[in-house]
Amino acid sequence: MIISRKIQIRLNVFFITAIILLITILSMYELGYMDELLNILAKDNYIFYWMLLVGVFAEIVAGSMGMGYGVICTTTLLFLNIPPHIVSASIHSAESFTTAAGSLSHIKLKNVSKTLVKKLAVPAVIGAIIGAVSLTYLGEYYSKITKTLIAFYTLYLGIQILSNAFKDKQNKALKKKTNLTRLGVIGGFIDAFAGGGWGPLVTGTLIKNAFTPRFAVGSSTVAKFILTITAAITFFLTLGIQHWNIILGLLIGGIITAPFSAMLTAKLPVKKMFLVIGILVIVMSSITIYKSVFK
């Protein structure tokens, strides 16, 4: 019942978005702008289409595992030699829309604890602003060092994702020991600075520390939406809009896939996906580190 309602909510978002896109495309065709649009989308070695594929893949993973969207996008963009500050700014701009859809779903399904959201979101906003401003400066002027540091972090996240396939049973004593303020600040900072990581760090910690999984995922998703909007606005004020073709590709890819990710959740072998995604992130991060250090 819950899964079917979740699918219905996401399908509604999908159909509304599809209608808007269709009207836009038909309008551009009627006005004679289609050839110009296709030429623009072909810029930067067709990166729009590559980002479209990445957005689809990342949303499938995020929909089935409850985490991984930012990690996969960041790892891929760094692998393609996109500057770190552009990476995070692009991802958070696109995620503003995808996390909004996910948050709406969880709110309507009553998977959200207002208290938990408040305890996570307020410090996360502070962390996100500090992280975005720090990355704007470091990413622009110390791109190679920043890229290497973020690649090491995504390597760590890859190992964490991989370890989820073999994780032990929850220890309920850890729930009382969880410092939500510190978790929110660190999670917000890392997510904005590294382009992702909120899911594996915050959602993963909550579930590991015996918070009810449905409230952990739902509340964490809403808090993530709030910090994503904050990070996107901060990047907009400090950098403006750059590489919109990356943003558009990630956004459309995520929107296309989001309505069906709930259906995939029940069918995909999650533990095997942890293994595959963990190994993929580790390999790509390792290559990025090698290229940053030795080339």
* pLDDT given at position 257: 76
| Mean pLDDT confidence for 180-202 | 89
Q: Is the pLDDT of residue 254 over 90?
A: no
Mind listing the pLDDT tens digit for each residue in 43-89?
A: 667 788 888 888 888 877 776 666 678 888 888 888 888 888 888 99
The CA distance from 117 to 5, in Å, is 22
Considering only residues 43 and 224, tell me which one the structure prediction assigns the higher pLDDT.
Answer: 224
Per-residue pLDDT, 258:
67
Q: What's the whole-number mean pLDDT along residues 246-269?
A: 71
Q: What does the pLDDT read at residue 116?
A: 93
Task: List the one residue out of 187, 73, 181 whose CA is nearest residue 119.
Answer: 181
The predicted structure's pLDDT at residue 5:
59
Give yes or no for a contact between 83 and 279, defined as CB atoms under 8 angstroms apart: no
Task: Please classify residue 182 by burial: count the beta carbons closer than 10 Å to its beta carbon, then call 0-12 exposed, 13-18 middle and 19+ buried.
Answer: exposed
As a whole number of angstroms, the distance between CA 83 and CA 88 comes to 9
Instruction: Give the pLDDT score at 57.
Output: 84
Give pTM, 2 decimals.
0.74
Grouping H, G, I as helix, E, B as strand and the rest as coil, residue 272 is: helix
Q: What is the mean pLDDT of the chain?
A: 79
- What lies within 8 Å, CB to CB, of 125 at 6+ separation is 188, 226, 227, 230
Structure confidence at residue 29 as a pLDDT band (50, 70, 90):
low
pLDDT value for 34:
65
Q: Would you say residue 127 has pLDDT above 60? A: yes
Residues 130-181 have pLDDT tens digits of: 999 999 888 767 777 888 888 888 888 888 778 877 766 555 555 557 789 9
Residue 182 reports pLDDT greater than 90: yes
Nearest CA among 147, 238, 160 for reference residue 195: 147
- With the C-alpha atoms ordered 243, 248, 249, 250, is the resulting torsion angle positive or negative? positive
More confident residue, 66 or 208: 208
More confident call, 39 vs 4: 39
